[in-house]
């Protein structure tokens, strides 16, 4: 990409990022006491992270079926409150095994 084309994009991105952070700081002077707004602000990072992560999981493998196997494995282990390392390693292993099975069966 040319530098002359990249610079306006970078500038607009910087201004939007700055505005999103500064406008609430300038407009809201007193402490937020509304429980709905507080809960909304509390859960927003988790919702954004989920929206960015979950679709990428299904396109990270060569086959959507192996991705589903990995997600199901991760959900089951997370439901039983296993460690994050165990959940991630087990989901990756499940994807690997299912990819090998799919490759040899089909």
10-residue averages of pLDDT along the chain (106 residues): 83 93 86 90 90 90 91 96 96 95 88
38 Cβ contact partners less than 8 Å away, ≥ 6 residues apart:
32
Please give the pLDDT value at position 81.
Answer: 95
How are the residues of the chain apportioned to helix, strand and coil, as percentages rounded to the nearest 5? 85, 0, 15
Q: pTM of whole model > 0.85?
A: no
| Domain residue spans of the chain | 1-29, 31-59, 61-106
Please give the pLDDT value at position 41.
Answer: 86
Please give the pLDDT value at position 101.
Answer: 94
Which region holds residue 49: left if phi is over 0, alpha if psi is between -120 and 50, else beta? alpha
DSSP code per residue over 53-91: HHHHHHHSSS-HHHHHHHHHHHHHHHHTT--HHHHHHHH
């Amino acid at each position: 990409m040319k530098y002359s084309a990249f610079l306006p994009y970078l500038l607009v991105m910087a201004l939007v990022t700055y505005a999103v952070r500064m406008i609430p700081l300038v407009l809201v002077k007193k402490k937020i006491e509304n429980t709905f707004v507080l809960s909304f602000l509390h859960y927003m990072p988790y919702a954004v992270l989920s929206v960015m992560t979950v679709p990428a999981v299904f396109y990270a493998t060569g086959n959507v079926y192996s991705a589903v196997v990995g997600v199901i494995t991760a959900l089951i282990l997370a439901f039983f409150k296993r460690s994050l390392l165990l959940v991630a390693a087990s989901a990756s292993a499940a994807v690997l095994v299912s990819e090998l099975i799919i490759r040899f069966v089909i």
